[in-house]
Amino acid sequence: VSRGVPAQLPSAQQERAIVTSSGTAPTIVWLRRDLRLADQPAFAAAAESGAPVIPVYVLDDDVAKKYAMGGASRWWLHHSLASLDADLRKLGSRLILRRGKVHEELAKIRRDTGARTVHAVRHYEPWWRNAEKAVAKVLSLECHDGNYLAPPGSVTTGSGGMYKIYTPFWRALSERMPPHDPLAKPHKLEAPAHWPASDDLADWDLLPSKPDWAGGMREEWTPGEAGARKRLRAFVEKARKYEESRNLPSIEGTSRLSPHLHFGEISPATVWHAVADAGGSVRTFLGELGWRDYAQNVILQYPEYGSRNARDAFDAIKWRHATTELKAWQRGQTGYPIVDAGMRELWHTGWMHNRVRMIAASFLVKHLLIDWREGERWFWDTLVDADYGSNAVNWQWIAGTGIDSNMFVRIMAPLTQSPKFDAAGYIRQWVPELKHLSDEDIHDPKRAPKGYPEKIIGHAEARARALAAHAAMKEEA
**Which residues line the annotated binding site?**
242, 254-258, 285, 385-387
- Between 33 and 428, whose beta carbon lies closer to ligand FAD? 33
Among 88, 109, 474, 155, residue whose Cα is nearest residue 313: 474
Under the binding rule (CB under 6 A), the answer on residue 18 touching ligand FAD is no
Instruction: Report 288-307 residues binding ligand FAD (CB under 6 A).
Output: 288-289, 291-292, 295
Q: Confirm whether 291 is a catalytic residue.
A: yes
What is the Cα–Cα distance from 316 to 466, expressed in whole angstroms?
14
Residues in the chain: 477
What is the Cα–Cα distance from 433 to 198, expressed in whole angstroms?
49
Of 42-50, 179-187, 286-294, 444-452, the window that binds ligand FAD (rule: CB under 6 A) is 286-294
Q: Confirm whether 397 is a catalytic residue.
A: no
Under the binding rule (CB under 6 A), the answer on residue 258 touching ligand FAD is yes
Give strand pairing partners of 97: 57
Under the binding rule (CB under 6 A), the answer on residue 405 touching ligand FAD is no
Of 57-65, 255-263, 414-422, 449-457, the window that binds ligand FAD (rule: CB under 6 A) is 255-263
Among 46, 140, 149, 148, residue whose Cα is nearest residue 88: 46
Phi-psi region at 308: left, alpha or beta (left = phi > 0; alpha = psi -120 to 50): beta
Q: How far is the CB of 7 from ligand FAD (least distance, A)?
A: 36
Under the binding rule (CB under 6 A), the answer on residue 394 touching ligand FAD is yes
> What burial class does residue 336 get, using C-beta atoms within 10 Å of its C-beta: 0-12 exposed, 13-18 middle, 19+ buried?
buried
Under the binding rule (CB under 6 A), the answer on residue 255 touching ligand FAD is yes
Question: Could you tell me if 116 and 10 are in contact, meaning their C-beta atoms sit under 8 angstroms apart?
Answer: no
- Between 295 and 456, whose beta carbon lies closer to ligand FAD? 295
What is the Cα–Cα distance from 51 to 192, expressed in whole angstroms?
8
Indicate which residue of 220, 291, 406, 433 is catalytic: 291
Under the binding rule (CB under 6 A), the answer on residue 401 touching ligand FAD is no
- Among positions 379, 408, 426, 430, the unique one binding ligand FAD when judged by CB under 6 A: 379
Indicate which residue of 195, 204, 213, 319 is catalytic: 319
Q: Confirm whether 319 is a catalytic residue.
A: yes
Cα dihedral 24/46/77/238 (nearest 10): -150
Q: How far is the CB of 268 from ligand FAD (least distance, A)?
A: 8
Of 136-144, 160-168, 383-391, 432-440, the window that binds ligand FAD (rule: CB under 6 A) is 383-391
What is the Cα–Cα distance from 49 to 186, expressed in whole angstroms?
12
- Between 91 and 257, whose beta carbon lies closer to ligand FAD? 257
The 3-state DSSP class for residue 96 equals: strand
Among 89, 45, 42, 86, residue whose Cα is nearest residue 225: 86
Bind-site residues for FAD = 242, 254-258, 285, 385-387
CA angle 391, 77, 49 (to 5 degrees): 105
Of 138-146, 218-226, 250-258, 438-446, the window that binds ligand FAD (rule: CB under 6 A) is 250-258
- Among positions 140, 254, 333, 349, the unique one binding ligand FAD when judged by CB under 6 A: 254
Q: Confirm whether 395 is a catalytic residue.
A: yes
- Among positions 111, 256, 273, 465, the unique one binding ligand FAD when judged by CB under 6 A: 256
Helices 268-275 and 225-236 meet at what angle, rounded to 10?
Answer: 30
What is the Cα–Cα distance from 358 to 399, expressed in whole angstroms?
10
Under the binding rule (CB under 6 A), the answer on residue 281 touching ligand FAD is no
What is the Cα–Cα distance from 33 to 259, expressed in whole angstroms?
10
Q: How far is CA 163 from CA 169, 196, 382, in A?
A: 6, 44, 30
- Between 314 and 379, whose beta carbon lies closer to ligand FAD? 379
Q: How far is the CB of 10 from ligand FAD (least distance, A)?
A: 41
Q: How far is the CB of 179 from ligand FAD (least distance, A)?
A: 14
Indicate which residue of 372, 378, 380, 397 is catalytic: 372
What is the Cα–Cα distance from 223 to 78, expressed in whole angstroms?
9
Between strands 140-144 and 2-3, the pairing is antiparallel
Instruction: Report 220-249 residues binding ligand FAD (CB under 6 A).
Output: 246
Under the binding rule (CB under 6 A), the answer on residue 361 touching ligand FAD is yes
- Between 110 and 122, whose beta carbon lies closer to ligand FAD? 122
* Contact set with ligand FAD (CB under 6 A): 246, 254-258, 261-262, 288-289, 291-292, 295, 354, 357-358, 361, 379, 383, 385-387, 390-391, 394-395, 398
User: What are the catalytic residues?
Assistant: 288, 291, 319, 354, 372, 395
